Amino acid sequence: MSMFSTGILVLTAPLHTLPLRIAPVLSSASQLVERTLYVHLHPGLNLGSGTQPRPVFIPPVVELSTLITRLYSNAANVCGHLDVRVLLTNVGTHLAPSSENTIPNCPFPTPLHLSHSPEVVLTDFPLQDPGQSHQVSQCLQKYTGYCYVCSPKLHSVLLHPQLPILEGKEEAIMEFEEKVHLEPLETYSDVVVGGTFDRLHGAHKTLLNISSLLANRRFLIGLCDQAMLKKKALKDLIEPYSLRVQRLREFLQDTKPSLLVEIVPLDDPFGVSVVDPLLQCIVVSEETRKGGEAVNKKRIENGLSALVLHEIQLLKDAHHTETEEEKISSSSLRSRLLGTLLAPPKDTSHLPPLPYVIGLTGGSGSGKSSIARQLEDLGAIRIDCDKLGHEVYQPGTTAYHRVVEEFGSDILNEDKTINRRALGTKVFGNQERLKALTNIVWPEIALLVKNIICQARDKGKQVCVVDAAVLLEAGWTDMVHEVWVTIIPEEEAVLRITERDGVTTEDALRRLQSQWSNAKQIEHANVVLSTLWEPEVTRKQVLKAWNLLQRRIQTSPEGQ
């Protein structure tokens, strides 16, 4: 069967039996859906009775909270490529008002719009008779149409026949069903959480879903802004604040549109949680419980009542490496982005397809040259622009004569070579004079780079790496197929520069501040690398980047 971009999974098994069934169901669903999978819960839904079922309100219970955690944990393990969203659109504690135009106890007066219109509806409903298949499929489509606006050509798939046997657990499930008692979940008018919410993952979604489940009226989110991001790992790869807000709103609009959602910048560990008198509950994890307790201490100092601390479980990351956290975390996800293609290459049809040219840049101390040497060891032709920069100053060159003419003969040594230190004093702190110098030198370096690329092409070389600290400032991106940027935190760069060059901390900072920031360079990057950790970690990044590059070259029309 063909793949669908977006699907909606209607789970019909009793709530307390789903935790044992959810992994194989998600695994089957992931064979059909490739982008977004919505999960709609209707425990006990009977699609084979011959009567068209309609959606009803499901009461919030503790088991629902447990299921949400289990569902996102399983999703991270078996279908991490999918954007899974558990819908709480039919969860409520009261009946819908009855009128001529509404159906009692129906949570959907009209079908809801989701951010991505479902193209296929899937279900775990078990067929008692194979002859029911067509009838059940039709019931499923109509039921889903009562709830959500779907694609006009909505397909339906019954997953149950494809599910693997649960290894003898069915009997245990049946025994458990007879004993279970669903425990009501205490809910609150106004609920608050805080976090970075970078690249929404399963742990974020668990927190958001459970918080939404607890909130009856308003959900307040303190979203970490600049001051709260300074100590985050690979902070320059954190999504912009506005994008994180947009993704939070879209997720919450899908999952519980009835909530009043407020998202405010979080510039300190407390934010509005210590001054808002309407808040009743704060959702924390074992890791952030102390932060919640600190919030309550501040609230009491401010004459406000303490918040109920609702603690949720951290999700384990089954795919974490030795250098990553055991829990699912944004920092681990950011580290996995290193070496991958973050943005597709721009149009380079004006360039010959081979050799494929990588422009490698990064701030002082970022380890750019060590990465360039590793790429050279893997087979790339390395073009060292720092070395070429020295060549263009040699007596007799075009740049030599123009520099002497522009800046005077007093910059020359006795042997008529250019004294780079004397030249530096003439341009230091003077942007106009510095631009006059770079306008002379940079085009000459670019000509040398192009000559080396042509030589590499004549020799049949596949890849060139232009190792250039000023690649972006000089506008040399038109010479390369992709831009790769190396980054490290500013404090680490300062340490490296002071140790390597014997300069003061202040001088190192001035040098870094005269260059493009990590964030600005990343805006132009196709691939980002970091030498922050042990050399072996960097080697793995470079090898990953190289192998992915080879695939891109081989599969692109130009590289064939």
Domain ranges of the chain: 4-92+109-162, 188-312, 338-380+461-555, 389-447
Question: For residue 73, what are the contacts with CB-CB under 8 A and spacing of at least 6?
Answer: 202, 206, 315, 316
Q: Across all residues in the chain, what is the average pLDDT?
A: 90
Quick one: pLDDT at residue 173? 44
Chain segment 83-103, per-residue pLDDT in tens: 999 999 999 865 444 444 445
Cα 356 from Cα 460, distance rounded (Å): 11
User: Which residue's structure tokens are 């007093």?
Assistant: 410
Average pLDDT over residues 544-552: 96
Give the pLDDT score at 330: 85
What is the CATH architecture of 4-92+109-162? 3-Layer(aba) Sandwich (3.40)
Strand (E) or helix (H) holding 19: helix 18-29
Please say if the pLDDT value at position 531 is more than 50: yes
**Structure token digits, residue 76:** 């991270």
CA–chain centroid gap for 48, Å, is: 41
- Residues 1-8 have a mean pLDDT of 87
The 10s digit of each residue's pLDDT in 476-514 is: 999 999 999 999 999 999 999 999 999 999 999 988 988
| 477 neighbors 471 (Cβ within 8 angstroms) | yes
The residue with greater pLDDT, 324 or 458, is 458
Q: How far apart are CA 64 and CA 16, in angstroms?
A: 8
**C-alpha to C-alpha distances, 223 to 198, 240, 252, nearest whole angstrom:** 10, 11, 14
Q: Pull the structure tokens for residue 101.
A: 């135009």
For residues 39 and 308, give the distance between their C-alpha atoms in angstroms, rounded to a whole number.
Answer: 29
Please state which of the ranges 158-162, 334-338, 390-394, 415-419 shows the lowest mean pLDDT: 158-162
Q: What pTM value is reported for the model?
A: 0.87
Contact (Cβ atoms closer than 8 angstroms) between residue 114 and residue 40? no
Same fold, 4-92+109-162 and 188-312: yes
pLDDT at 554: 86
Neighbouring C-alpha atoms within 13 Å toward the C-beta of 48: 15
Beta strands in 205-277 (DSSP E): 215-224, 260-266
pLDDT for residue 322? 64
- 398 pLDDT band, cuts 50/70/90, is very high
Q: What is the pLDDT of residue 29?
A: 94
Buried-exposed string 480-505: b where 16+ CB fall within 10 A, e elsewhere: bbbbbbbbbbbebbbebbbeeeeeee
Give the model's pLDDT for residue 324: 64
Is residue 556 pLDDT above 80, yes or no?
no
Please report the sign of the dihedral spanned by the C-alpha atoms of residue 488, residue 491, residue 494, residue 498: negative
Per-residue model confidence (pLDDT) at position 98: 44
Q: What's the confidence (pLDDT) of residue 242? A: 96
* Per-residue pLDDT, 181: 65
pLDDT-derived band at 299 (thresholds 50, 70, 90) equals very high
**pLDDT score at 149:** 97
Amino acid letter, residue 159: L
Q: CA 545 from chain center: how many Å?
A: 18
Q: Which residues lie below 8 Å from residue 163, measured CB to CB, with a gap of 6+? A: 21, 24, 25, 28, 124
Element (H, E) at 7: strand 4-11
**pLDDT above 60: residue 171:** no
Tens of pLDDT, residue by residue over 408-430, are 989 899 899 988 888 888 887 78
Q: Taking residues 446-452, report their average pLDDT.
A: 96
Six token digits for residue 71: 């569902």
State percent of the chain over pLDDT 70.
91
How large is the average pLDDT for residues 393-405? 92
Q: What is the pLDDT of residue 94?
A: 55
Topology at the third CATH level for domain 188-312: Rossmann fold (3.40.50)
One CATH from 3.40.50.300, 2.60.120.10, 3.40.1160.10, 2.40.110.20 for 338-380+461-555: 3.40.50.300
- Average pLDDT (149-168) is 77
Percentage of the chain lying above the pLDDT 90 cut: 75
Instruction: Give me the count of residues in the chain.
Output: 560
Which pLDDT score, from 0 to 100, does residue 487 have?
A: 97
Nearest 5°: the CA angle 79, 80, 83 is 95
Residue 287, pLDDT score: 86
**Radius of gyration of the chain measured on its C-alpha atoms:** 30
pLDDT (0 to 100) of residue 291: 94
Summarised one tens digit per residue, pLDDT across range 320-356 is 666 667 777 888 889 999 999 999 999 999 999 999 9
What is the maximal distance between C-alpha atoms in the chain? 101
- What tokens does 274 get? 């210590």
Enter the tokens of residue 398: 């075009």
Per DSSP, the three-state class of 515 is coil
